A and B are shown apart, each in its own frame.
Chain A
């Protein structure tokens, strides 16, 4: 598909004290996806009128030749005319800037957010297909080009042939973002998987910040949450920001995934006679509902969430379980039958209600995700009455006796790259194996003590009997 003599397509991203040089690989197939955007027309102001742009998107990847995140996604948007390309460029830039600003809020100002985590939302950079320098997105400049030794080839053709023979470079825009491994969510958790909670902190902070910037992601769901780590941080990250939009003023239509739709937006879609309009609150609530669903996928299992929580309520077939606090309470109590989880269940179910901690809170323009996550942490602490921990504060003799085994368990769990839940499961496996090894050692010790003792005793009796 790709011509071996064709010059490589490279993308140069540079910011203060960092630079990334990406070599774009040809796509693995010829598949293109049609994606429509409703964006404000250039110079249209806040009139609410939107321009519909039809694009053809090619999905491919790129490899970084320098320091920083190694693997990247590249989306190549082909527009019909220059007006569409310019309006889309403006929209993608505003989107990219909002995402970068949300990330910059995380943990200080010296973070190199476009090339190194921590991220709450995967950062996106926009590159012009015509090779011109792009400087709209804050301090980051981007440029599409070819390596300097292939500059002659560049004069003849800027875009590779796999984009399309005779493609006009000025009608193409590239969006590049770090490539993050997808997560394998556990299908069902018989106990709350609260070991995930810590990894949601950055995501909650970034989501609140994005909403403070009056932007919404609009498509938060398990497929769009990945896990990434670097030396000093790890956590879940939102990907696929195609549907991200300005929440205030709100767009006329919302792009999202029906299964994970917030109840208020479902009602709007089903009851068209009432002439509903999208509001900023509904967009924030859509994101927060998605966040709740993802947290519950981590705690209770994705299969359970999708087949129970997002399914028809058996007591009220007109609505989903997730549309009522009482139904969610009932479902969670059945799922985690042990009554000690009650404090956690109550806090997890509250946002599905209509009260001050439900609809009113999640449709509010004020930040919500971080404070709710803090409540979940606190509720989890109230559940901990079993297993009965020993008096805290100082290490017991038993801990000193098994210090070596305990460190081996932790070292095994920490070894190599793994998500927090994977490390926890490794620790469970290691505890099981260490317990078996400890039991075998003790069994061998006592077996040998008894055998040696009995042999000596038998021999002593033999000597006594023989001597008598």
Chain B
């Protein structure tokens, strides 16, 4: 996961002290600096989600292909 998204400490170093301020801020605090940090965290999780989707789709294609052949044979032979 770190290879795809980057190490969190390196990835978020650019936010500097704002990252620490965001941790201590009340949930839902709408300060622009905190919105930036939240967008950064969401972006990081978004990359993770896309990576997961790709892996799931690739694995699903392989397993699904085998399962499709199996289900075809079962239904065809049964019919």
Residues of A within 8 A of B (CB): 190-192, 194-198, 340, 377, 380-381, 383-387, 389-390, 392-396, 398-399, 401-402, 405-407, 409-410, 413-414, 420-421, 423-425, 427-429, 431-432, 434-436, 438-459, 461-463, 465-467
Contacts and interface: CB of A to CB of B under 8 A. Distances in A.
A457 B70 CA distance: 11
A394 B45 CA distance: 18
B43 A432 contact: no
Contact of A389 (B20, B36, B45, B46): B36
B48 A406 contact: no
Contacts of A385: 14
Contact of A451 (B1, B24, B27, B64): B64
Contacts of A462: 71-76, 78-79
A394 B47 CA distance: 20
Given A392-B36, A410-B23, A451-B64, A458 B43 contact: no
A364 B21 CA distance: 32
A443 B9 CA distance: 25
A467 to B, nearest CB: 7
> Interface on chain B toward A: helix, strand, loop, or mixed SS?
helix
B56 A191 contact: no
B39 A399 contact: yes
Contact of A380 (B11, B16, B43, B76): B16
> Interface on chain A toward B: helix, strand, loop, or mixed SS?
helix
A439 B55 contact: yes
Contacts, number: 224
Interface string B56-79: 110111011101111111111011
The 3 closest A-B pairs by CB, nearest first: A450-B60, A466-B79, A462-B75
Contacts of A447: 56-57, 59-60, 63
A387 B12 CA distance: 7
Contacts of B43: 387, 390, 398
Contacts of B33: 392
13 contacts: A389-B36, A390-B39, A392-B35, A399-B39, A435-B5, A435-B47, A440-B52, A442-B51, A443-B56, A445-B56, A446-B60, A450-B63, A456-B71
Contacts of B2: 432
A369 B8 CA distance: 32
B10 to A, nearest CB: 7
A431 B12 contact: yes
Contacts of A387: 11-12, 14-15, 40, 43
A286 to B, nearest CB: 27
A450 B64 contact: yes
A389 B40 contact: yes
Contacts of B69: 458
A450 B72 contact: no
Contacts of A402: 41-42, 45-46
B60 A448 contact: yes
B75 A405 contact: no
Nearest to B50: A442
Contacts of A191: 9-10, 13
Contact of B19 (A427, A446, A450, A452): A427
Contact of A459 (B17, B38, B75): B75
Chain A CB count within 10 A is highest, among B27, B36, B39, B55, for B39
Given A377-B17, A462-B78, 8 more contacts: A380-B17, A427-B19, A431-B41, A440-B52, A443-B55, A446-B60, A458-B71, A461-B72
A444 B17 CA distance: 36
A155 B27 CA distance: 59
A195 B5 contact: no
B52 A439 contact: yes
A406 B64 contact: no
B3 to A, nearest CB: 12
Contact of A434 (B9, B39, B45): B45
B45 A438 contact: yes
B39 A192 contact: no
B9 to A, nearest CB: 5
A192 B16 CA distance: 8
Given A438-B45, A465-B72, A450 B57 contact: yes
A40 B2 CA distance: 62
Contacts of A401: 42, 46
B56 A192 contact: no
A194 B16 contact: yes
